[in-house]
Amino acid sequence: MTIAEALDLQAPVAASSGRRWRVFRGLLHKKIACISIVIISVFYLAGILAPWAAPYGENEQPARLTQQLSNASPSSDHLLGTDRLGRDVLTRVMFACRTTIIYTLIVLVMGGLFLGVGLGLLAGYRGGWVDTVIMRVGEILGGVPTLILILAITAAFRARLTDAGFWLGDHTFLNTEDARTVVQFALLVGASVPFAWIGGCRVVRAQTLRLREMQFVEAAESQGASTFRILTRHIFPSVLPLFLVGVTGGMAGIALTEVSLSFLGLGISEPAASFGTLIADGAGPRAIELFPHLFYGPTIPVVLFFLAWNLLGDALVDLLEVRSTHEV
């Protein structure tokens, strides 16, 4: 390979790196984007550090539960009050952040990254019947009301979760409660992943169709590079920024699936903490009137989390559109 060819192959990577840096600097100049980043960072830090930073244990109850300790209003000892069992609401919210983080990351990696990016690259680069099969399957799944179908899947297999949890608890180091939570997580992820790749796949495929005609891809093909190397080393770095924009816009939707199913009693259940179950405990009209901290304590953080991801995605879209217009 000549020096000129080597520079030609490296140029797209360098240009992509420079564009990412310019987008990042532009993002820091948008106040709403900075606020969104701060909210998301606080949410993730709360979830990651929950076992060490939470003021109490996830299911820690007072030694003697009294009427004053049950559903207690916010105080210096319990900043967000307590629930009906005397458990600290702030602690439960922090552990609920951890539940949401684990679920969204697993679905994102398995559905969005592996399936979405992988199938999008393959469909766009190979074309032909491979592209047709992948996109037709995506269209079929995309035409189904996702949340309703996931709801049906979890409801259909819900009755078997108890037996699976007991079996896992008897044959592993997990106790029964942790084993049941693991099984519930597995069911939620298994029901969500088949629908999580469709949007990312379409974006990556569209970009790959454009990039496969570029000179740096043709140069790599002429040097005998394998399909895997072309996709991973030459095309993937160029489609990654747009994929990340899609992730920021879809992260709130992924988290909403877990929260909604848990709220309906078909997701993560007690004693594990989830925003769905926390909101459900305080969502009744009587509960909101008598114990508003049970509803607003978990609702405000999760709403801010959803709003921050959506606003960050909008900011990234604006920056990329402006950059593309200037480049044209």
Least confident of 21-30, 172-181, 275-284, 310-319: 21-30
Residue 60: CB atoms within 10 Å: 13
What is the DSSP secondary structure assignment for residue 115, as one 8-state letter? I
Gap between the Cα atoms of 179 and 166, Å rounded: 7
* Beta carbons of 141 and 195 less than 8 angstroms apart: yes
How many Å separate Cα 31 from the centre of its chain? 23
Residue 67: inside a domain: no
Over the stretch 271-309, which tens digit does the pLDDT of each residue have? 889 999 999 988 878 888 889 999 999 999 999 999 999
Amino acid at 237: P
Inside any domain, residue 8? no
Does the pLDDT value for residue 170 go beyond 80? Answer: no
Over range 180-186, report the average pLDDT.
Answer: 82
Residue 173 in tokens: 């180091």
- What is the span of the domain harbouring residue 295? 14-56+81-327
Burial class (CB in 10 A: 0-12, 13-18, 19+), 326: exposed
Tell me how far apart the alpha carbons of residues 104 and 275 are, in angstroms, rounded to a whole number.
13
C-alpha pair distances (Å), 91 with each of 58, 148, 303: 6, 31, 18
The pLDDT score that the predictor gives to residue 145 is: 76
Top pLDDT among 222 and 89 is at 89
Bridge partners (DSSP) of residue 88 are 82
**Band of the pLDDT at 21, cuts 50, 70, 90?**
low
In the block, which residue shows the tokens 């796949």? 201
pLDDT tens digits for range 243-264? 877 777 788 888 888 898 889 8
Q: Compare 157 and 254 and report the one with higher pLDDT.
A: 254
pLDDT of residue 143: 77
The DSSP call for residue 30 is -
What whole-number distance in Å separates Cα of residue 20 and Cα of residue 25?
A: 9
Whole-number pLDDT of residue 186: 84
Q: Which whole number is the average pLDDT over 204-208? A: 89
Nearest to 59 by CA among 46, 50, 72: 50
Place of tokens 């891809």: 217
**Whether the predicted pLDDT of 47 surpasses 90:** yes
Three-class SS state of 92: helix
Q: Cβ distance 73 to 296 under 8 Å?
A: no
Per the prediction, the chain carries an average pLDDT of 82
Any domain includes 73: no
Helices (H) and strands (E) in the chain, counts: 15, 0
Residue 177 CA to residue 172 CA, distance in Å, equals 12
Query: Quick one: pLDDT at residue 8?
Result: 42
Q: Render pLDDT for 129-138 as a digit per residue (tens, 0 to 9).
A: 988 999 999 8
pTM, full prediction: 0.83
* Cβ count within 10 A of residue 122: 19
In a domain, 64, yes or no: no
**Encoded tokens for 306:** 């959803």
295 inside domain: yes
For the chain, what is the domain count?
Answer: 1
Q: Is residue 320 part of a domain?
A: yes
- Asked if 242 and 202 count as a contact pair (C-beta separation under 8 A), the reply is no
CA distance 134 to 119: 7
The pLDDT of residue 94 is above 90: yes
Q: What is the mean pLDDT of residues 23-50?
A: 86
CB distance 97 to 50 below 8 Å:
yes
The percent of residues above 90 in pLDDT, for the chain, comes to 23
pLDDT tens digits along 63-78: 888 788 888 899 988 9
- DSSP symbols for 121-169: HHHHHH-HHHHHHHHHHHHHHHTS-HHHHHHHHHHHHHHHHHHHHHHHH
What CATH number does residue 39 fall under? 1.10.3720.10
Query: What's 246-315 look like in SS3?
Result: HHHHHHHHHHHHHHHHHHCCCCCCCCCCCHHHHHHHCCCHHHHHHCHHHHHHHHHHHHHHHHHHHHHHHH
Residue 240 to residue 228: CA distance in whole angstroms:
16
Q: Is there a domain that residue 65 lies in?
A: no
**Whether 267 contacts 184, CB under 8 Å:** yes
* Residue corresponding to tokens 């047709």: 132
Q: What is the pLDDT of residue 320?
A: 67
Number of Cβ atoms within 10 Å of the Cβ of 276: 27
Task: Please indicate, yes or no, if residue 230 is contained in any of the structural domains.
Answer: yes
Range of weakest confidence among 10-14, 90-94, 223-227: 10-14
Are 210 and 125 a contacting pair, CB within 8 Å?
no
Kindly tell me if the per-residue pLDDT of 161 is higher than 50. Answer: yes
- % of the chain residues with pLDDT over 70: 86
How far is Cα 176 from Cα 168, in angstroms, rounded to an integer? 8
